[in-house]
Amino acid sequence: MGRFNDIFITVLPLFVISAFLLPELATAQLRPNFYANICPDVENIVRKAVTAKFQQTFVTVPGTLRLFFHDCFVQGCDASVIIASTPNNQAEKDHPDNLSLAGDGFDTVIKAKAAVDATAGCTNKVSCADILSMATRDVIALAGGPSYAVELGRLDGLSSTAASVNGKLPKAGFDLNKLNALFAANGLNQTDMIALSGAHTLGFSHCNQFTNRIYNFSPQNPIDPTLDKQYASQLQSMCPKNVDPRIAINMDPTTPRIFDNVYYQNLQQGKGLFTSDQVLFTDQRSKPLVNAWAGNSQAFQNAFISAITKLGRVGVKTGSNGNIRRDCGALN
């Protein structure tokens, strides 16, 4: 009886405390229109800034989309990837896995933030993490992909270290088990992983990400046998041995500037650029969805929207775990 009382007494204050915390947690819960009473026009302001940037360079699209992915997979969607390194701290963006993040993705967020902050009533009211998620939605639509209601209400993270990137991002050489494990660690299942891989319908890769597939795959097969032969020789001519390491090529050889389901059609034809792309078709566990989405653009788009919405919920910062950064590139 005494034990029961002890438990009751220690548990009760926890309920009382959580009742006080609840309003704060409730505001941190993501939802569309989070800024309706704070900065009602924020989505139009961001869209306008992103569109202006897009008109300057197409790299805005893949740069922003990949930035969102890397942000969410390392310490959650908290804009920690945008923090610049300082003499005392090497930030996430300076980890070697970030080497190829396009500067235009960062610039998109900085420009959209400036536009938001220049609007009366909105200054320092919208997180960089939310601006990145809105910008991501906008670039997908600008490239011909679907649009969707984006959930908002994230806070910006309070730290960013290169060390925190280790092991958090997938590698081009990953097989299905490794891909699934890494995505599962972020609450995303195989369906989500296959849908999000469809982002490789856009953007560029440096040659070193796949040279093993075209020159030294195995002693028996210098070229990865899952690669289409003609595509393999195109890749060899675009990426000769000892190529300039700055050279980058389109990941979708067919419609590189359109957000479409051609990525999956490419996989059916042996035109997946990375091992991690082609394995989605060669592994029997993922092949059925590749085939389904290759033949049904609407089904792919629905799955992508569901998956990127789940991606946007990863590790969201609430309460004292975050703040609204004045400068997206520096901690307050």
Ligand X SMILES: *[C@@H]1O[C@H](CO)[C@@H](O)[C@H](O)[C@H]1NC(C)=O
Token reading at 28: 């941190």
70 tagged catalytic: yes
Query: Judged by CB under 6 A, which of 75, 108, 160, 205 binds ligand HEM?
Result: 205
Q: Give the footprint of ligand X on residues 175-194 (CB under 6 A).
A: 189-192
Query: Judged by CB under 6 A, which of 103, 222, 288, 319 binds ligand X?
Result: 103
Find the angle CA(33)-CA(34)-CA(38) to the nearest 5 degrees. 105
Q: Which is nearer to ligand HEM, 89 or 234 (CB)?
A: 234
Q: Which is nearer to ligand X, 98 or 205 (CB)?
A: 98
Q: How far apart are CA 143 and CA 79, in angstroms?
A: 23
Query: 83 and 170 in contact (C-beta within 8 Å)?
Result: no
Give the nearest distance from C-beta 228 to ligand X in angstroms.
Answer: 28
- Convert residues 174-193 into a mask of x (bound to ligand HEM by CB under 6 A) and - (unbound): x----x--------------
Helix (H/G/I), strand (E/B), else coil: 283: coil
Task: Count residues binding ligand X (CB under 6 A).
Answer: 12
Give the nearest distance from C-beta 44 to ligand HEM in angstroms.
Answer: 24
Residue 179 to residues 22, 183, 185, 198, 277: CA-CA distances in angstroms? 36, 6, 10, 14, 10
Token reading at 218: 């195995």
Is 196 near ligand X (CB under 6 A)? Answer: no
Q: Is 74 annotated as a binding residue?
A: yes
CA atoms within 13 A on the CB side of 55: 5
Query: Judged by CB under 6 A, which of 60, 209, 266, 309 binds ligand HEM?
Result: 209
Q: Which of 70, 111, 213, 325 is catalytic?
A: 70
